[in-house]
């Protein structure tokens, strides 16, 4: 009986602390306070999110909040002295064990926040203010739906219920920011839609990045080299990890352009887009060269290889048959 009571207390610590961390960190982001505070905000929101996810795991089974459930023991849990589960593994366990479905967007926002948190020393606050707000906004709505859908509101203590109500208001505040910003760029965006393909920005996640010469997000101002933007797009929007794809022998879907040779081609829907020269192909217009693996425009009697590989083969044949 005594043990039960202690565990119940920890339950409220996790969820209450998680919400506390998050709620106390939002003002500096909404009000554009100084750099130092913004850093702590990112740290605290990230910590708060993880605590809330862990609480749902703990409700499933307390060993699930251990990095290695096989070595879990109750004494360590009560003292808090153990290696706890990482964000990545938390999400996997929530999906596989608790059968909780996250949307791609929710998953990538939570991971992106964690990435920001891990690079906090190199964090530049003037970086892109709107991108941070937009990211935090997405994280908040993800965590708000998580709390309301996967916990029983009525079982929470009044203080926790108050925190959840507060979170709902804050989510609205951030949504309001997004709405205002979108209204600000409305005309610009409409003109861009007439002239260019518009894709989701890998920094702020809004669908406000025209694939144009400038390659600059209208919502948050993010821009970089075409290769970098394309690479971030594949990672943040499409959810691929170059490291994992290479490790598992898969294909990281960022290809060399058959037109400008920049490694900036991504596949979106039925089309390939080059972020560098802005060329667009329908997916059936390009094939993968069986020699070098690059994309090329296939034609009859091309032997399934690209022109470069073809002329390479010819040069070698010439050498062997002088």
Interface with Zn ion by CB under 5 A: which residues?
201, 203-204, 217, 219-220, 222, 257, 259-260, 274, 276-277, 289, 291-292, 306, 309
212 vs 259, beta carbon nearer Zn ion: 259
Q: How far apart are CA 22 and CA 221, in angstroms?
A: 26
Of 38 and 289, which has the nearer Cβ to Zn ion?
Answer: 289
Q: How far is the CB of 298 from Zn ion (least distance, A)?
A: 11
Least distance in angstroms from the C-beta of 149 to Zn ion: 28
Is-contact 117 43, C-beta < 8 A? yes
Least distance (Å) between residue 201 CB and Zn ion:
3
Sequence-ordered alpha helix ranges (H) in the chain: 2-23, 26-30, 35-60, 74-79, 87-96, 104-118, 129-150, 158-184, 186-195, 226-232, 242-247, 307-320
Looking at the Cβ atoms of 159 and 313, the one nearer to Zn ion is 313
Q: Which is nearer to Zn ion, 20 or 263 (CB)?
A: 263
Instruction: Answer whether 117's CB lies under 8 Å from 132's CB.
Output: no
The nearer residue to Zn ion, 245 or 312, going by C-beta atoms, is 312
The sign of the torsion formed by the CA atoms of 296, 297, 298, 301 equals: negative
Beta bridge partners of 281: 272
- Residue closer to Zn ion by CB (options 222, 281) is 222
The rounded distance, in Å, linking the Cα atoms of 219 and 114 is 22
The C-alpha atoms of residue 10 and residue 53 are separated, in whole angstroms, by 14
For the CB of residue 223, give the shortest distance to Zn ion in the complex, in Å: 9
Place of tokens 């307390």: 62
Handedness of CA 238, 244, 249, 254 (dihedral sign): positive
Handedness of CA 73, 78, 81, 85 (dihedral sign): positive
Q: How far is the CB of 265 from Zn ion (least distance, A)?
A: 7
CB of 251 to Zn ion, least distance (A): 15
């Amino acid at each position: 009986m005594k043990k039960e009571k202690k565990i119940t207390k920890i339950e409220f610590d996790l969820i209450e602390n998680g919400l506390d961390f998050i709620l106390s960190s939002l003002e500096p982001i909404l009000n554009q306070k100084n750099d130092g505070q913004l850093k702590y905000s990112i740290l605290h929101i990230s910590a708060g999110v993880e605590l809330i996810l862990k609480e749902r795991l703990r409700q499933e089974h307390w060993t699930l909040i251990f990095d290695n459930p096989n070595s879990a023991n109750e004494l360590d849990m009560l003292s808090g002295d153990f290696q706890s589960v990482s964000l990545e593994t938390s999400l996997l366990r929530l999906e596989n064990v608790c059968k909780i479905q996250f949307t791609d967007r929710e998953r990538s926002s939570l991971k992106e926040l964690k990435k920001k948190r891990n690079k906090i020393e190199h964090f530049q606050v003037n970086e892109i203010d709107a991108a941070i707000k937009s990211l935090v906004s997405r994280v908040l709505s993800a965590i708000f739906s998580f709390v309301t859908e996967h916990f029983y509101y009525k079982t929470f203590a009044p203080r926790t219920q108050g925190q959840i109500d507060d979170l709902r208001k804050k989510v609205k505040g951030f949504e309001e920011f997004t709405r205002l910003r979108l209204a600000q760029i409305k005309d610009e965006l409409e003109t861009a839609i007439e002239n260019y393909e518009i894709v989701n920005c890998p920094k702020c996640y809004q669908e406000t990045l025209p694939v144009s010469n400038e390659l600059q997000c209208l919502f948050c101002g993010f821009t970089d080299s075409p290769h970098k933007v394309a690479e971030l797009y594949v990672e943040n929007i499409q959810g691929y990890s170059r490291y994992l794809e290479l490790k598992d022998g898969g294909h990281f879907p960022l290809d060399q352009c058959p037109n400008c040779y920049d490694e900036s081609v991504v596949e979106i829907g039925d089309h390939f887009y080059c972020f560098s020269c802005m060329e667009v192909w329908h997916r059936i217009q390009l094939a993968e060269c069986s020699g070098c693996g690059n994309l090329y425009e296939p034609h009859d009697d091309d032997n399934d290889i690209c022109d470069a590989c073809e002329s390479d083969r010819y040069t070698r044949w010439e050498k062997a048959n002088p």
